[in-house]
Amino acid sequence: MLTIYAVPVSVYNAKLRILLRHKGIAYEELPPPGGYGSAEYKAIVPSGNLPAMIHDSFMLADSEAIAEYLEDAFPDVPMLPGEMQLRAKAREKSRLHDTRLEPAVRGLYPYVAHETRDINAVKRQGEAITKSLDALALLLASDPLDPNTLWMCDCGFAVTFAWIKAFEATIGLKVTWPEAVLSYDARLRSHPEVAKELIAYKPAMDSYLEKAKP
């Protein structure tokens, strides 16, 4: 039995749901018992992190650690390459998402609500996001991974690109998208499980973005 503790709007939950869909893994998604940040949840998941997973009573937190575990536990649809150096390159790409691009997007959260919008801060985060997109474009220029396969490292980017576009449309975010990143985004969205998750995820995004309205 596989349980994922998650909240619908979380980027890292959506990232993990793409992997679960693509691998065809059956699971149940539950809200954190006692609520996000509660003592009850921390008794199960000491870090309080979401997402977290319970698999046959084994607990694990952090989306990337969970993704790596699921790759080992459910290898039928591989989402990491077989060759050692290609696997390392895939992990390098995941890190660019989890430690650079997504944190730059997360830096916008305090300014999403119309009441707390700070246009200078939004501009500053837009520059940080563009810098990460430029780094991704450079990485894509020599990316050795098969472009026709959906890899573990692709899942986070698909979700974060959707958020960047949503913030461009709602809070005046200005970002320069390198051509290579636009093509990469289109390629990711052509994978059926990515497209399905982005459709299923949109109501949670829209509900979060309500606070951006005057």
Ligand X SMILES: N[C@@H](CCC(=O)N[C@@H](CS)C(=O)NCC(=O)O)C(=O)O
Closest distance to ligand X from the beta carbon of 68 (Å): 11
Q: Which two tokens stand for residue 147?
A: 């472009």
Q: 5, 12, 151, 157: which one contacts ligand X (CB under 6 A)? A: 12
**Cross-strand partners of 30:** 5
d(CA 53, CA 4): 5
Site membership for ligand X, residue 98 (CB under 6 A): yes
Would you call 162 exposed, middle or buried from its count of C-beta atoms within 10 A (0-12, 13-18, 19+)? buried
Closest distance to ligand X from the beta carbon of 7 (Å): 7
For ligand X, the nearest residue by Cβ is 63
Contact 41, 32 (CB under 8 A): yes
Site membership for ligand X, residue 130 (CB under 6 A): no
Site membership for ligand X, residue 193 (CB under 6 A): no
Pairing mode, strands 28-30 and 2-5: parallel
Site membership for ligand X, residue 154 (CB under 6 A): no
Q: Which of residues 172-191 bind ligand X (CB under 6 A)?
A: none
Residues that bind ligand X (CB under 6 A): 10, 12, 48-51, 62-64, 98
